[in-house]
Chain A
Amino acid sequence: MAILQANKIYKTYGNKFNKQEVLKGIDLTVEKGEFVGIMGASGSGKTTLLNVLSSIDRVTRGTIEIEGKEFTAMKEKQLAEFRKQHLGFIFQDYNLLDTLTVKENVLLPLSITGISKKDAHRKFEQVAGELGIYELKDKYPAEISGGQKQRTSAARAFVHDPGIIFADEPTGALDSKSASDLLNKLADMNQKHQATIVMVTHDPAAASYCSRVVFIRDGQVYTQLNKGEEARQSFLGDIIKTQGVLGGVQQ
């Protein structure tokens, strides 16, 4: 069953006189339980795509359905409610609240679910332990490194077991060990909890964890690769090859 379906979406930035069309008619379907990777050159519109798919930003044209409900026409309040309940985010620029400690940041999405303090604490111990940030729990974002922020941001995305996780360069600031830990965690969420994951990345190695990789170019879907029964190593090779064809920074 398609959990997420985007039909011919367009996104234009700027005003009448200074238009920049970033997304030009993208069609994308994500099945429930899929782990989709999105790749493309810097500035190709990946973050923009993720934003509109996750209802943070509105499309200029086109429709997006999540679980059969079209949300391009939904009210702002309903959208917010939906994000709060069902979505998890790992943002490219971390998006942690300066005023909260690491632990408070991570537990933020839980506050609306109404689970008990004890359960929340247990949940935090588990997620933070897996991502190696438990020791940092009482620190403020200004006092931790970029990679630690990224892991905190990831912990926040996992903590309420969301149905769909949107991740924008979740491994961008991580060393290879922490990166593979995080990716394993994502894969784990995907397999054990049937969480649907949409991940933007530049890193072919990270993309090789996905079951499918979508390549974006000129605001359109350039091509897709399916992992199928392939081993990760050979899938990685395919990805690198495709990336080579795709080219670098776009004009």
Chain B
Amino acid sequence: MSLNVIILRNLKKNIKNYYLYVFALVFGVALYFSFVTLKYDPSLDVMEGTIKGGAAIGASSVLLIAIVAIFLLYANTIFIKRRSKEIGLFQLIGLTKGRIFKLLSAENLILYFGSMVLGILAGFAGSRLILMILFKILDIEVAAKLRFSIEALQQTVIVFAAIYVLIMLMNYMFIKGQSILSLFRVNSTAEERVRKMPIREIIMGVLGIAFILGGYYISTQLFGGKFVDMAELMAAMIAILALVIIGTYLFYKGSVSFVFNLIRKRKKGYLSINEVLSLSSIMFRMKSNALLLTIITTVSALAIGLLSLSYISYYSAEAQARESSPQDFGYVNPEVKEQFTAALDQAGIKYEELYIPVFYTSVDAAQVMGKTVYQKDEDKQIHTAVISDSSLGNVDVKPGETRLMGLSGALKNFMPMKETGELGFWTAEGKVPMKLNGITSEAVMPYRFGGGSGVFVVDEADYQKLVKVSYPSSQKNVPTEYYGLNLKDRGQMKQAYEIYTAQESTGDKDHALRLTSFSQYEFEINQRTSMGMIMFIVGFLGLTFLITSGCILYFKQMDEGEEEKGGYTILRKLGFTQGDLLRGIQFKQLFNFGIPLIVGLFHSYFAVKSGWFLFGTEMLTPTVIVMVLYTVLYSIFGLLSVVYYKRVIRESL
């Protein structure tokens, strides 16, 4: 019989085994191709102004390659394992390992590149859908046109050819490293036995938990002032990543298997049906499970973390716009303001006006600053604007006291300050002591005035005294007065904004107006568009991670289900009902899907907590929303696997 005949026969016979592999391939290729198609889509250049959409997609496609490669390699391991008996048989009838490898490679080649064509077609169709979603998020009104991109095709073919080589390498090593006997019983050997002295496990488990907690601890300290320069910060981040990932692995390998061992040992061989189906089945594959669970956990944590951060920034767009321009509109130049208000009056739009004169000074905050990135006392100076409480109207500060208003979340984390304490205002006549009495994060002046550190509000009498002795040099080339306008009816915002932009475009060509007039609405839109792009990319990656990790787990469960089918037959012969078995399986799935999810949620929570303030102003709500959504989507895979098991159990007798 020629090799070709054998290949064809095999292809036909194994078609059932292949479908999972083909699905993984088509899915991976489609995903990658549609993503890369976006990168080369000319309509994305529209957004070049805000953020380089193409570049961002390019960078993330690297991540995508990694996850797709892991996914395919995993699908391949299941695939080749299922066929180990067949490979053993070939060897038994005298085929050499080299010849078997050739056989498999040829067979794979047909399959692999066949699925790739399918995947590219699916990806082509999918990219249009994705583009439409993207435009929807960004509020861009461009029709999503479809263009078949040759560059994207090339890139996809190169990437997947490389993965093919990787897969072949893996198959080669698998065949090489196996004896006939081990190929025949690859499914029936236990990876984890009930041991008498699991000291190694205990050490491993404790180390794992310690590593994870250590990683969490460093993450909470990340921006707390411990790590001063960029290099240290990088090192700390890498340390966190390494600690948490290794810790997770050890946790699964050590703690989980230790706890399981303990439970199982205490049962003294007397297991209930639930334990037979969950505990012993999981322990039976503990070694490969530990690695897989680690991957799933990491990928989940990554996905949740990324999704949370991007959603935080999108969610915080409004708050950040308020930070940039606390009033609906703001002007530095009274003439320009007059023009604007005149136009508003004409349009019949009612508003409230706020006038705030300011001066700038340096404030010695050495007494109130805690540990910060800045360690020397001369660095603990805040250079910012000072205003009078009477300008704000609704704020009253006692003489000799001051309040810091508008300290941003990010800065608060970089330089923690006590709420009260002694400050020194530098003036031409020396340092004037003032008592700090309260810090609020709510901004009262546009970002341009105080930066992230906010502005100091003092009593009207103090203001008059201080402004007289302020350094004249500090007041040059900076706005010394500010007009804030709040619309009475925010429903007229769009109309007012139109007037604002019309005025801006007829103003000076040198963009001076941009720096001297502010619109909260504009800030919000800009934030939304730029974050929308990132959110889209991150969301795409996050969903990809979710689907791949869900699929990997599902495949794994399908594989286990096939393997354990014989066991279900036996149990049913012995008189256990389908319901008994299904309950045990649900228990097992609770572990298989639940543990990585819970650990992943913890990981991502700490990851988000360590740096969320760089992305926005509100952490809890968006993070919880993302987590709940993720959990729901992820559980679908768990449910699907139970449904699959249900069928396996039903067909087992």
Contacts and interface: CB of A to CB of B under 8 A. Distances in A.
B268 A99 contact: no
B576 interface: yes
Chain B: interface size category? 35 or more
B188 A91 contact: no
A109 B566 CA distance: 17
A82 B576 CA distance: 10
How would you classify the secondary structure of chain A's contact residues: helix, strand, loop or mixed?
helix
Contact of B280 (A83, A87, A100): A100
A97 interface: yes
Interface stretch (A29-37, A117-125, A184-192, A234-242): A117-125
Given A56-B653, A77-B577, A95-B570, A100 B271 contact: yes
Contact of B575 (A87, A97, A101): A87
A138 interface: yes
Given A140-B189, A141-B188, A104 B573 contact: no
B574 A109 contact: yes
A142 B269 contact: no
A83 B571 CA distance: 11
B201 interface: no
Given A98-B567, A99-B280, A99-B564, A104 B271 contact: yes
Interface in A136-181: 137-138, 140-142
A87 B576 CA distance: 12
Nearest to A153: B570
B574 A84 contact: yes
A142 B269 CA distance: 17
A110 B267 CA distance: 13
B192 to A, nearest CB: 10
A70 interface: no
A140 B580 CA distance: 23
Nearest to A117: B270
Contacts of B185: 142
B269 A99 contact: no
B7 to A, nearest CB: 30
Given A87-B575, A142-B190, A111 B273 contact: yes
Contacts of A120: 268-270
B267 A98 contact: no
A81 B187 CA distance: 30
B190 A108 contact: no
Interface in A36-91: 56, 76-77, 80-85, 87, 89, 91
B577 A110 contact: no
Interface string B263-289: 000011111110010001101100000
Interface in B554-589: 564, 566-567, 569-580
B194 interface: yes
Nearest to A137: B269
Contacts of B564: 99
A204 to B, nearest CB: 28
A101 B189 CA distance: 11
A103 interface: yes
A138 B576 CA distance: 24
Nearest to B283: A99
A89 B653 CA distance: 15
B188 A98 contact: yes
B570 A104 contact: no
A112 interface: yes
A96 B276 CA distance: 12
A163 to B, nearest CB: 13
Interface residues of A, number: 37
Contacts of B566: 98
B99 interface: no
Nearest to B265: A138
Contact of A80 (B193, B281, B576): B576
A138 B194 contact: yes
B281 A99 contact: yes
A210 interface: no
A99 B570 contact: no
A107 interface: yes
Nearest to B185: A142
A80 B572 contact: yes
Contact of A83 (B187, B267, B569, B573): B573
Contacts of A85: 575
Interface string B132-168: 0000000000000000000000000000000000000
A91 B276 CA distance: 20
Given A56-B653, A108-B574, A98 B269 contact: no
Contacts of A91: 573
A82 B269 contact: no
Contacts of A141: 188
B576 A96 contact: no
Nearest to A88: B574
**Residue from B272, B570, B575, B578 having most chain A Cβ neighbours under 10 A:** B575
A203 to B, nearest CB: 23
A243 B557 CA distance: 49
Contacts of A80: 572, 575-577, 580
A153 B108 CA distance: 41
Interface of A: 56, 76-77, 80-85, 87, 89, 91, 95-101, 103-104, 106-112, 117, 120-121, 124, 137-138, 140-142
Given A96-B570, A111-B276, 5 more contacts: A95-B570, A97-B570, A97-B571, A100-B276, A121-B270
22 contacts: A56-B653, A83-B573, A84-B574, A95-B570, A95-B573, A97-B567, A97-B571, A98-B566, A98-B567, A99-B281, A99-B283, A99-B564, A104-B280, A108-B271, A109-B574, A111-B272, A111-B273, A111-B276, A112-B273, A120-B268, A120-B269, A121-B270
**Interface pairs A-B: 7 shortest CB-CB:** A84-B575, A83-B575, A103-B269, A99-B284, A80-B577, A95-B570, A120-B270
